[in-house]
Chain A
């Protein structure tokens, strides 16, 4: 039927890499002009809002944390509500190393934070990733609660409920001091760390490995049937995601110069999930859009309704999950596609 009816030109143009589908796959990993925008915006923010750089640091840390979650949840489809476990592990690694003056160099501290969080991710993944769906959700929640209680009880080392204040952080590259009153160094450092981590995650998701993670998310049974080592792939992904969450946590500790139990709490885990859903998961830039939208909403809603600002956020989430399952970015993609179709048709 339509095979015979298809234009002969279509078939010959589709040979090799000529077809639009093949072209799209071959071009997908290439940089597009708009991908420079977040980084330009980041630098503009630095110069335009010097009084808000502390807020800017929070924003960058949230983006990085959401990016780590996107790798596990958005790409591999690992449903987790306990990602703050790794954020906290990274934060406490940096915090304890600094408080006891063992290690205060910021870059290597972050690498150690990644190592510790990645190790916890690997070990918990050995157990967790056998489960699926709600069981997985509960187990990730339990892992986080266990770590939170451990941090609470070991107050001789972690400061317990009070946390570890006034962390000494050595200058970046031995030159640029972290300024306690004015977060300019912290902001640029956080921007740099986010950039490096982002390049890493971006490379990963456009690799064949990233493609196979998407396959696992879309149909895990089929991945088994085509001989994919699903467990191993998930373990690698979860460990990397945990390590990046650890870097985000370490960065949070460094930019605030303190660590407390809020690093490990359900609040933080739920917030990052909301950020990612708001922005759009499995989309790389959803973390950016979501973090900006969430923090901006928090700011403005808190001004309008200081007592019940979360109500507005809740309503927005209901609207997003009912009408825009793929978040703000998904909504944008849909509108853009409609616009292009309309432009091509007449």
Chain B
């Protein structure tokens, strides 16, 4: 049995009368490949925001390796090893691909506060960033401005910025969203090649991605956990087919 990295206990968040996340008990194991699925508005992104500290919960707790981190800020959680990507790219669009990564690596390495030493002489940071771009097969685009890249590559940069933080827990919010299907394999390849020791939680709508990638699946509906299990169990669950998978499976059958 593997140890639990990230855990929530009765985690809830209300927006006025709307119960966006309701009493979610959730465990993310070390090295997990865990998918979070559910219809639009099920509270998946709110859940991620609660995990990363962007939002504070109305009730409940978040624990990292058994330690209560409910009251910590977003920046503190990043330092503790929780990194995320965004459903809609949040990149430094005017800068080169390499610079995008360097900003993240410098922040993690604690170099970003230094004011009187040229960034160009921190070759350790530049080398590490280049190395990361190599592992994601982005090295040959390193000098491009991010806004000049095709969208699929931009999604990879989105992932690379998060990996520059050397996370122990990585939360991916629809990493392949908006990527044309001809390009989506470069995202999936990159996700499959993520280091084994990182615990990965992926929000995804594309069932092909979920079943290819995930070892465990949690289904959220209306802010609550509807079911959890292996991909096979989830696929076999008739209720889930009805509330959520129905359309996707049908589409896959016809497509």
Q: Which residues of B contact A211 (CB under 8 A)?
A: 99, 102-103, 106, 112, 119
Please, how many residues of chain A have a CB less than 8 angstroms from a CB on the other chain?
43
The answer for the CA separation of A129 and B91 in the assembled complex, in Å, is 22
Are A227 and B137 closer than 8 Å at their CB atoms? Answer: no
Which residues of A, 6-47, contact B by the 8 Å Cβ criterion? 6, 10-11, 14-17, 19-22, 24-30
Cross-chain contact of B78 among A14, A221, A227, A233 (Cβ < 8 A): A227
Q: Does B75 contact A (CB under 8 A)?
A: yes
Chain A contacts of B187 at CB under 8 A?
Answer: none
**Using a Cβ cutoff of 8 Å, how many contacts connect chains A and B?**
163
Q: Which residues of A contact B86 (CB under 8 A)?
A: 222, 225
Q: Are A22 and B130 in contact (CB under 8 A)?
A: yes
Instruction: Give the complex CA separation of A228 and B113 in angstroms.
Output: 9
Partner of A203, one of B76, B90, B116, B122: B116
Tell which of B52, B92, B137, B182 touches A215, judged by Cβ atoms closer than 8 Å: B92
Interface contact B91-A26, CB-CB below 8 Å: no
* Given A14-B134, A14-B142, A227-B108, also A25-B119 (CB < 8 A): yes
A210 within 8 A of B: yes
- Check B5 for interface membership: any CB of A closer than 8 A: no
Query: In the complex the two chains form, is A226's CB within 8 Å of B102's CB?
Result: no
Mask, A219-257, CB within 8 Å of B = 1, is: 101111111110001000000000000000000000000
Main secondary structure, interface of A, reads helix
- B103 / chain A contacts, CB cutoff of 8 Å: 211-212, 214-215, 223, 226
**Interface SS of chain B:** helix
B59 within 8 A of A: no
Closest to B97 in A: A21
Contact of B117 among A21, A207, A222 (CB under 8 A): A207
Q: Considering the chains assembled together, what is the distance between the CA atoms of A24 and B113 in angstroms?
A: 22
With A17-B127, A25-B98 as known contacts, state yes or no: A208 contacts B106, CB within 8 Å: yes
Instruction: Give the complex CA separation of A294 and B203 in angstroms.
Output: 53
The answer to whether A206 touches B119 (Cβ under 8 A) is yes
CA distance A9 to B217 in the complex (A): 42
Verify B113–A209 contact, CB threshold 8 A: yes
Is the pair B108, A16 in contact by a Cβ cutoff of 8 Å?
Answer: no
Q: Which B residues are CB-close (under 8 A) to A20?
A: 142-143
Within the assembled complex, what's the spacing in Å between the Cα atoms of A26 and B121? 6
Interchain residue pairs with CB less than 8 A apart (18): A6-B140, A14-B139, A19-B130, A21-B97, A21-B130, A22-B126, A22-B142, A24-B143, A25-B96, A25-B119, A203-B115, A206-B118, A207-B119, A222-B91, A223-B103, A226-B83, A226-B162, A227-B79
* Shortest Cβ-Cβ A-B pairs, 4 listed: A227-B78, A21-B142, A21-B143, A29-B118
